[in-house]
Amino acid sequence: MKTTLRSLWNQVFEPLVVVLLVFASTTAIAQPFYVPTGSMQPTLAIGDALIGSKFPYGYSRWSLPLGLGPKSEERLFGRLPAYGDVVVFRLPRDEQMTYVKRVVGLPGDRIQMVKGELVINGRKAPLLWQGTARIEDHNGRYSEVNLYRETLPGGVTHVIAKHVWDGWLDDTPVFTVPEGHIFVMGDNRDNSLDSRAGPGMGGVGFVPVANLMARAEFTIGSYDFLNADGPASWPGLIRWERFFRGI
């Protein structure tokens, strides 16, 4: 009898416990995500893999694998993100897609771009030039770009990439963030379709708090897949310096 029970445990219950533990951890604690685009450069590179923590903003249907929970605008243990948080969320116009951007506006905030500079509630977010860096485009080509340290309300700072100051999203009307929503932008300011562009323009628009999945915490690896050219090139495309970097 003991042998039969042990065999049953090994064949059925042990794998089931492992599955349940994995399900619980990816639902309640953390989840890996992959970055396929360059809209968050220099913070996140194309090909980065990151870990997002699930608990900072509470839980919604999108905290569960495949969004299996009931649809609701309320979050269990819900909290708003902070300025500067890098968040993973489901795209409002197509909830099958997962995006990652930085929070620059909270409910009630007035957000505007004026000549390429971010204005929050009538005040420009200070910019300090940080030099230049090479960043990658969607074709795998690298180019030199200016970097600036931007300061958000509360003194939170992060680095953005800026190519030009007269791009099509560099001058916008004033956006007033609705209740229950946030305003997000990519750090690669001239190559990010974010809250500055509405769904009709292929952008993100305002993001419902209910669509938040996780807060990006650190990268666990990175691979320059756009420049892969046969097996001989693969080892050299691993970005070892991007392993286990805080976001």
Annotated catalytic, 39?
A: yes
Catalytic: 101? yes
From the candidates 60, 101, 162, 222, which is the catalytic residue?
A: 101
Q: Which residue in 39, 63, 192, 195 is the catalytic one?
A: 39
3-class DSSP string for the chain: CHHHHHHHHHHHHHHHHHHHHHHHHHHHCEEEEECCCCCCCCCCCCCEEEEEECCCCCECHHHCHHHCCCCCCCCECCCCCCCCCEEEEEECCEEEEEEEEEEEECCCCEEEEECCEEEECCEECCEEEEEEEEEECCCCCEEEEEEEEEECHHHCEEEEEECCCCCCCCCCCCEECCCCEEEEECCEHHHCCCCCCCHHHCCCCCEEHHHEEEEEEEEEEEECHHHCCCHHHCHHHECHHHCCCEC
Residues noted as catalytic: 39, 101
